[in-house]
Amino acid sequence: MGHNCGEIMKQTVIHRFLDLDAKKDLLRFSTAGSVDDGKSTLIGRLLHDSKGVYDDQLDSIRGVSRVAGVLDGGIDFSLITDGLKAEREQGITIDVAYRYFSTPRRKFIIADTPGHEQYTRNMATGASTADLALILIDASQGVLIQSKRHAFIASLLGIPHMLVAVNKMDLVDYSQKVFDDIKVDFGNFAAKLGIKDIHFIPVSALKGDNIVEKSPNMDWHKGSPVLSYLEELYITSDRNLLDLRMPLQYVLRPDSSFRGYCSRIASGVVKKGDEVVALPSRKTSRIKSLVSYDGDLDAAFAPMSITFTLEDEIDISRGDMLSHKHNIPHSSRHFEAMLIWMDDKAMELGGTYVLKHGTRTCKAKLDGIRYRVDVGTLSRRQAEALELNDIGRVVLTANRPIFFDAYSRNRDTGSFILIDPVSNATSAAGMIIERESVEPIISDMHSESDKAPEDCGAVSIVTAQDRECAYNQKPVTIMLTGLHASGKSEIAYQLEKLLFDSGHASVVLTGRDLRSGISRELDFDISDRAENLRRAAETARILNSHGLICICAFIAPDSSIRRQMSDIVGKGRFIEAFVSLPLEECRKNDSTGLYRQADEGAVRDVAGVSYPYDEPKDSAIKLDMLSLTHHSAAEKILEYLKNLLIVS
């Protein structure tokens, strides 16, 4: 009886331990720095002093340490992570070494990344999933270019936290002045990168100072040691829980009575009963159930893996994405990204690669290179191609739309890889960027005098002020949105005539204009219509930059797409005018037969009929076409422009 009770108690303790261990959160961090800064030694010391190395591993490492010349049975801590024979022979890190350890408060995954410039791709690989970047600086050497290089890559990869460990403090007699000087020097550099959270700790990895225990040799440092900082770092708020993004991985159909959809939630929170929209079809439904290993859930959040069911039968499969109806990601075939080239074979400009973005795979063409970053000086260089370990800003076109957010907002939906279709090798890792989001990071690093001649592009000698004076107007884009046959185009041309008669310069853009030219290859499905509107916004932005007023007349049924257009043009230059007319009146005005074809099923996704139209809630101008003529509506817009002093 006593034996059984003891066994039961033993099993209870084990299960309690395993349950507590499963509930501990996980911190991923990467190490980086110049060669011989002591990255591997610091990680080895951290693992050793926190009891994260098994006895048989220690015995093996002691043997190798004796061969390497370490006396008195001591340990070369770098050998704990430098596992490759070439690494041990050269005393450097070449490949990314991943190590796992756990303390009573948290679990950790460490990526010990190489310091050499030629292993930039390895560093990027190790840091891509990190919550924190641990940058080492040799106190006896100060801030070197390699440390700055790795800080830049860490900021480019969107790592939210940075810990700077000033190592080898024993070589500078634990000097507070040396530490403070390095802190100021590196802090000034890091401020230009936009790093949100940065922390400094003076350490000696070899001696164990400030690694696990506070060092008596540096009582002037009031902060915590490295392990305590890692255990206490708050990372819960780093994950995007606002934007629901659920890329579909698999359709689960065990029998005819159940159809579930498997997804690892990339970001956001989803609840039972939530209305969701499927991309690219834009069909809507509601979450019927959220199924997990532990049973049905009322809610789930990133990064949980779940199976969900929907109330309606809609056609979705692997590669599609679900989001909340009024918060959808960007959808486009065209985008720009920062690219880290990882292939020995140089980039082929204009070449086609396989793009893997989440669970979606398609082909993508490299259209152009904006610039290559000189990782040593962080300046921009012109380039015809990217080679191994190069980093540059590129323009890509996919053969079908992808659904993405800027990497700065969502690391899951903003990242992708390019694969060589012939060798199947990973050619590059990419981070999708918002317009101009990276420019300040690069350009602010150096004054104009520091820029190479090839960095200085031609600039128009006609200033924006000159154009405003010549045209007697401020350039804006007026976006007329409304149902088909509501009168948008008629109002646009009436407004153009009024402006012309007043001596102002304006241009009208309609869907017909674009589809007869720059959007000729686009289809009429939802994604291609979104791309057509993106091109319209880009065109309007260019026209505005040349001082012209641009009048756009598009249905633009999705409020999210209209917001994207506003972001492209610039919110200060974008004026939305809602052309309001009931659907039955639009049907009467329709001379093209579009509504009739939609009713017969010959045409799909017609706004107001088979596709929802999001009526603007806060348009600058609302035109009630039941009481206005086309001419009087145009006059109302003109009066609005005069009140804002856009035109005289």
| Residue spans of beta strands (DSSP E) within 482-547 | 506-510
Handedness of CA 124, 125, 126, 131 (dihedral sign): positive
What's the CA gap between 636 and 631, in Å, rounded? 9
Whether the predicted model's global pTM rises above the 0.75 cut: no
Q: Is the peptide bond before 557 cis (omega within 30 degrees of 0)?
A: no
Q: What is the mean pLDDT of residues 431-453?
A: 46
**What's the distance, CA 272 to chain centroid?**
27
Q: Residue 444: what pLDDT?
A: 36
Identify the CA nearest to 112 among candidates 167, 41, 31, 37. Answer: 31
Residues of the chain above pLDDT 90, percent: 44
Amino acid identity at 347:
M
Residue with tokens 């030629």: 118
* Contact residues for 205 (Cβ-Cβ < 8 A; gap 6+): 38, 41, 42, 44, 45, 77, 165, 167, 168, 211
What's the CA gap between 190 and 188, in Å, rounded? 6
Q: What is the dihedral of CA 56, 58, 63, 65, to 10 degrees?
A: 160
Pairing status of strand 621-624 against strand 574-580 = parallel
Q: What is the mean pLDDT of residues 434-459?
A: 42
Q: Residue 417: what pLDDT?
A: 94
Q: Residue 440: what pLDDT?
A: 38
Backbone angles phi, psi at 361, to 5 degrees: -125, 135
Residue with tokens 């009886």: 1
Q: Residue 17: what pLDDT?
A: 52
Q: Residue 89: what pLDDT?
A: 45
Q: What is the mean pLDDT of residues 580-605?
A: 89
Strand partners, 337: 394, 432
Rg (CA), the chain: 30
Q: Residue 14: what pLDDT?
A: 61
Q: Residue 104: what pLDDT?
A: 84
What separation in angstroms does the CA of 187 have from each of 134, 199, 225, 444, 447?
14, 9, 20, 15, 19
Label residue 612 by pLDDT band (50, 70, 90): confident
Q: Residue 449: what pLDDT?
A: 35
Q: 14: part of which helix (H) or strand (E)?
A: helix 2-23
What's the CA gap between 149 and 140, in Å, rounded? 19
Amino acid identity at 284:
T
Contact 146, 129 (CB under 8 A): no
Pairing status of strand 107-112 against strand 26-33 = parallel
> Greater confidence, 289 or 146?
289
| Burial class, 29, CB count within 10 angstroms (exposed 0-12 / middle 13-18 / buried 19+) | buried
Q: Residue 67: what pLDDT?
A: 52
Into which CATH architecture does domain 20-238 fall?
A: 3-Layer(aba) Sandwich (3.40)
Q: Residue 16: what pLDDT?
A: 62
Domains of the chain by residue range? 20-238, 246-324, 330-455, 464-643
> Greater confidence, 520 or 317?
317
Identify the CA nearest to 41 among candidates 138, 131, 121, 132. Answer: 138
Q: Identify the CATH number of the domain defined by range 464-643.
A: 3.40.50.300
- Please determine whether the domains at 20-238 and 330-455 fall in the same fold group of CATH: no
Pairing status of strand 97-102 against strand 107-112 = antiparallel
Phi-psi region of 363 (alpha: psi -120 to 50; beta: other; left: phi over 0): beta
Strand partners, 478: 551, 575
Label residue 52 by pLDDT band (50, 70, 90): low
Q: What is the dihedral of CA 637, 638, 642, 646, to 10 degrees?
A: 90
Label residue 86 by pLDDT band (50, 70, 90): very low
Q: What is the mean pLDDT of residues 423-432?
A: 92
Contact 359, 247 (CB under 8 A): yes
Label residue 321 by pLDDT band (50, 70, 90): very high
Q: What SS3 string covers 141-157?
A: CCCCHHHHHHHHHHHHC
Position 445 pLDDT exceeds 50? no
Label residue 150 by pLDDT band (50, 70, 90): confident
Q: Identify the CATH number of the domain defined by range 246-324.
A: 2.40.30.10
Position 88 pLDDT exceeds 50? no
Minimum mean pLDDT among 221-235, 346-360, 427-441: which range?
A: 427-441
Contact 353, 421 (CB under 8 A): yes
Position 335 pLDDT exceeds 90? no
Identify the CA nearest to 497 among candidates 635, 628, 370, 602. Answer: 635
Amino acid identity at 508:
V
Read off the pLDDT of residues 189-234 as tens digits, 9 standing for 90 and up: 888 787 778 999 999 988 889 999 999 999 999 999 999 999 999 8
What's the CA gap between 341 and 348, in Å, rounded? 11
Position 366 pLDDT exceeds 50? yes
What separation in angstroms does the CA of 113 have from each of 119, 159, 204?
9, 15, 19
DSSP line for 409-439: T-TTTTEEEEE-TTT--EEEEEEE--TTSSH
Minimum mean pLDDT among 54-68, 131-145, 159-173, 203-217: which range?
A: 54-68
| Residue spans of beta strands (DSSP E) within 459-568 | 477-481, 506-510, 549-554
Report the b/e string of 331-345 with b at 16+ CB within 10 A.
bbbebbbbbbbbbee
* Helix 176-191 vs helix 145-156: crossing angle, to nearest 10: 40
Read off the pLDDT of residues 132-144 as tens digits, 9 standing for 90 and up: 999 999 999 998 8
Position 124 pLDDT exceeds 80? no
Q: Out of 1.20.950.20, 3.40.50.300, 2.40.30.10, 2.60.40.3120, which CATH number does the structure's domain 330-455 have?
A: 2.40.30.10
Q: Residue 23: what pLDDT?
A: 64
User: Tokens representing 390?
Assistant: 């190069």
Backbone angles phi, psi at 182, to 5 degrees: -65, -40
Minimum mean pLDDT among 221-230, 250-259, 389-398, 453-462: which range?
A: 453-462
Contact 491, 633 (CB under 8 A): yes
Q: Residue 448: what pLDDT?
A: 35
What's the CA gap between 280 and 243, in Å, rounded? 17
Q: Share the mean pLDDT of the chain.
A: 83
Contact 420, 427 (CB under 8 A): yes
What's the CA gap between 368 and 440, in Å, rounded? 21
User: Tokens representing 30?
Assistant: 């990467």
| Burial class, 191, CB count within 10 angstroms (exposed 0-12 / middle 13-18 / buried 19+) | exposed
Position 456 pLDDT exceeds 50? no
Contact 143, 136 (CB under 8 A): no
> Greater confidence, 131 or 40?
131
Position 3 pLDDT exceeds 80? no
| Burial class, 35, CB count within 10 angstroms (exposed 0-12 / middle 13-18 / buried 19+) | middle
User: Tokens representing 616?
Assistant: 């603007």
Identify the CA nearest to 549 among candidates 460, 435, 638, 643. Answer: 638
Contact 389, 425 (CB under 8 A): no
